[in-house]
């Protein structure tokens, strides 16, 4: 039931936290952990403000995004010249040999492949466990969940912090693996794309994974096309991932029922235990 517009800022802070950690330790997995910690801390602050203090979710999320943009730029000044070694990629047998798409999609860092397991675990948790049912009920009808004795605010905070940690993991991946150097604003709107993908997926984890792979696949495809010397302006290729996302969202928006049927009923609405 919480709308977090601060994903972009959390990813940026996690990106510099993960990058700095790898620079000083040389361990990419510690960088991932640092990014997750940074994202979780910012999400906890956001959750405390909107869940306990009742601040506006949209305004607070935007403020968090702006804070993350500025803070990451300031913290990253001393790392502008630093560059991390490029990590090896692991091709999937047979799939990586598919012409054009294979090298772009199926030669990745292990973390990319783990996202499939993460999505599967999330689907199982939400739809096959009692805890997942409780979490969904908190988003649908917090008053009913509260009447049954569930700590609605604590559950919401736990969900927000978990989401923040995963945003942090994404930010750390961008700065340590995807582009192993620090560039101000390097998340480049992917936090906002993640929010758009939630709508694209109508709040279904499996569809979120599909949308994320669509965006990521088109992104990798444009790099592959550039490397193979395809005679297309680089500006057009850079637009492809965002353009494809906009087209899909436009098609889905033609049928608002697709969105409303799965959207949590209490999305964006504050909850007060005494009300």
Residue range 222-236: mean pLDDT, rounded? 70
Same domain? 179 vs 194: no
Q: What integer pLDDT is reported at residue 252 of this predicted model?
A: 67
**241 and 120 together in one domain:** no
> Does residue 131 sit in the same domain as residue 193?
no
148 & 225 share domain: no
Measured CA distances, 131 to 120, 135, 173 (Å): 16, 6, 29
- What pLDDT, in 10s, does the model give residues 114-143? 888 888 899 899 999 999 999 999 988 999
Same domain, residue pair 169 and 123: yes
Q: At 221, is the pLDDT very low, low, confident or very high (cuts 50, 70, 90)?
A: confident
Same domain membership, residue 132 and residue 110:
yes
In a domain, 84, yes or no: yes
The residue out of 132, 160, 187 marking a domain boundary is: 187
Q: DSSP readout, 162-209?
A: HHHHHHHHHHHHIIIIIS-B--TTTTTTHHHHHHHHHHHTTT-HHHHH
The structure's pTM equals 0.86
Selection from 62, 60, 67 nearest residue 12 by Cα: 67
Does residue 183 share a domain with residue 243? no
What tokens appear for 226 in the block?
């550039």
Q: Convert 159-177 to b/e letters by CB count within 10 Å (16 or more is b).
A: bbbbbbbbbbbbbbbbbbb
Q: What is the pLDDT averaged over residues 137-154?
A: 92
Q: Domain check: are 55 and 167 in the same one?
A: yes
**Whether residue 168 sits in one domain with residue 210:** no
Pick from 158, 226, 247, 171: nearest CA to 17: 171
For residues 102 and 67, which has the higher predicted lDDT (pLDDT)? 67
Q: Do 31 and 158 reside in the same domain of the chain?
A: yes
Residue 234 has pLDDT above 70, yes or no: no
- Show the domain range for 234: 189-265
Last residue of a domain, one of 187, 217, 251: 187
Residue 63's pLDDT is 96
**pLDDT score for 261:** 67
With a cut of 90, say whether residue 37 has pLDDT above it: yes
d(CA 197, CA 191) in angstroms, rounded, equals: 10
Report the domain count for the chain. Answer: 2
Separation CA 30–CA 47 (nearest Å): 25
Are both 179 and 193 inside the same structural domain? Answer: no
Specify if 270 maps to a domain: no
For 163-183, the pLDDT digits (tens) are 999 999 999 999 999 888 999
DSSP 8-state symbol, 231:
S
Question: What pLDDT band is residue 259 in, cutting at 50, 70 and 90?
Answer: low
Choose one of 187, 212, 243: the last residue of a domain. 187
Mean pLDDT of 27-47: 96
pLDDT of residue 22: 96
Q: Is residue 272 part of a domain?
A: no
What are the start-end ranges of the E strands in 106-151?
A: 107-108
Q: Which token pair is 71?
A: 């803070």
Are residue 29 and residue 157 in the same domain, yes or no? yes
Q: Is the dihedral of CA 130, 135, 138, 140 positive or negative?
A: negative
pLDDT at 25 exceeding the cut of 70? yes
pLDDT at 45 over 90: yes
Question: With 70 as the cut, is the pLDDT of residue 104 above it?
Answer: no
The answer to whether residue 21 is domain-embedded is: yes
Q: What is the band of 89 on the pLDDT scale with cuts at 50, 70, 90?
A: confident
- Judge whether 252 lies within some domain: yes
């Amino acid at each position: 039931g919480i709308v977090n517009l601060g994903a972009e800022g959390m990813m940026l802070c996690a990106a510099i936290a993960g990058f700095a950690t790898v620079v000083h330790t040389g361990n990419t997995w510690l960088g991932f952990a640092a990014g997750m910690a940074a994202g979780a801390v910012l999400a906890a602050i956001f959750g405390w403000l909107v869940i306990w203090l009742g601040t506006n979710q949209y305004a607070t999320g935007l403020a968090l995004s702006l804070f993350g943009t500025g803070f990451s730029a300031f913290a990253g000044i001393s790392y502008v010249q630093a560059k991390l070694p490029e990590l090896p990629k692991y091709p999937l047998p047979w799939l990586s040999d598919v012409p054009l798409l294979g090298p772009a999609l199926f030669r990745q860092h292990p973390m990319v492949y783990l996202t499939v397991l993460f999505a599967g675990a999330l689907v199982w948790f939400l739809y096959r466990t009692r805890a997942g049912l409780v979490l969904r009920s908190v988003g649908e009808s917090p008053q009913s969940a509260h009447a049954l004795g569930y700590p609605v605010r604590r559950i919401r905070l736990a969900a927000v912090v978990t989401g923040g940690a995963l945003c942090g993991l994404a930010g750390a991946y961008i700065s340590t693996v995807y582009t192993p150097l620090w560039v101000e604003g390097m998340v480049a709107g992917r936090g906002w794309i993640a929010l758009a993908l939630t709508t694209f997926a109508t709040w279904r984890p499996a569809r979120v994974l599909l949308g994320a792979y669509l965006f990521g696949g088109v992104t990798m495809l444009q790099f592959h096309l550039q490397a193979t010397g395809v005679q297309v302006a680089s500006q057009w290729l850079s637009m492809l991932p965002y353009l494809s996302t906009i087209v899909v969202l436009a098609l889905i928006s033609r049928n608002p029922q697709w969105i409303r049927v799965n959207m949590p009923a209490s999305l964006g609405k504050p909850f007060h235990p005494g009300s």
